[in-house]
Structure 1
Amino acid sequence: MELCILADGDEESVVDLQSWLAVDPGTAQLPITTVAGHGPTMSALEALNVVLSNTTDIANFALAYVTWRATRPLQLPRPAGSGEQPGGQRLVHGDSTVDIGHLSAEELAKLLRGLNGGTPSGEQE
């Protein structure tokens, strides 16, 4: 399953998340690529693409993400109606965009398994 974590204008947070995932023992082996934007932001980091191959990857990513988020300084909410979330808080998979900034590791793992169509056949959680 490939998912995308949007920078939402906060490239620094997404770079920090990428660094965190690269050194986390559970996620260091995950294929992660950056997506650079074109146009007015010219080469600004817009997103991270992450490939999760199995339920272990999903659980490891969920735990690493929530742990990373807990180390971040408290982010003030954006103004109502702005439609923007602090960087690294929205996940895109296919046609689905989900705010993940408030989810626990268990909730995030459950969401990712659901987006992936449940547990792949033959795998145990």
Structure 2
Amino acid sequence: MHIRIAADVDEQALTDLRSWLGRDPGTRLLSVEPVSGAGPTLSVLEALDITFGHAVDVANFALAYTTWRSTRAGRTAGNGARTLTYGDTTVDISHLTAKELTELIRSLGGQAASGYADNDPDEGRRLS
């Protein structure tokens, strides 16, 4: 399953999120690819494309994302990395709990998000 997290005019938020996901034990092995676009002088980071290989990856991402977001809560500058896109669906995820975000991503992916976990021994536990 593949989702996109948009910059929402806050490129630094995406840079921070990418770094956070790379350090988190449950998400450091996720495929997180930057999406760049043309800016006024150089290319700018517009989004992160995130690919999940297993259903447990979705839960690990949701927990890492909500934890990262809570560390930024006191900052007044920027609200970036709060828009999730899957196919033609775009959702503001800035208010969702880890459980709600997990359920949202799994429901957006339908069978793709739940079907590949049927025989996944890691389902329901955080990888380290």
Amino acid at match of 2:3: L
- Structure with a larger share of its residues in helix: 2
* 1:39-68 deviation per Cα after TM superposition (whole angstroms, max 9, x unaligned): 546401000000012210000000000000
| Sequence identity (%) | 48
TM-score (norm 1): 0.86
Equivalent in 71, 93, 110 of residue 100 of structure 1: 93
Judged with a 3 Å threshold, the aligned counterparts in structure 2 of structure 1 residues 39 and 19 are, in CA distance, closer, same or farther, namely closer
**Structure 1: runs of 5+ lacking an equivalent:** 77-84
Which amino acid counterpart does residue 103 of structure 1 have in structure 2?
L
Q: Which runs of 5+ in 2 are unaligned?
A: none
What SS does the corresponding residue of 1:44 show, helix, strand or coil? strand
TM-score (norm 2): 0.84
Alignment of 1:108-123 (within 5 A): 108-118=101-111, 119-120=114-115, 122-123=118-119
Deviations 1:51-107 (A, max 9, x none): 01221000000000000001014356xxxxxxxx82011001100000000000000
Counterparts of residues 54-73 of structure 1 (less than 5 Å): 54-73=54-73
Structure-2 residue corresponding to 1:86? 79
Q: Alignment length, in residue pairs? A: 118
Q: Is the 1:54–1:120 Cα contact (8 Å) retained in structure 2?
A: no
Do the aligned partners of 1:92 and 1:98 also contact (CA within 8 Å) in 2?
yes
> In the TM superposition, what are the counterparts of 1:17-28 in structure 2 within 5 Å?
17-28=17-28
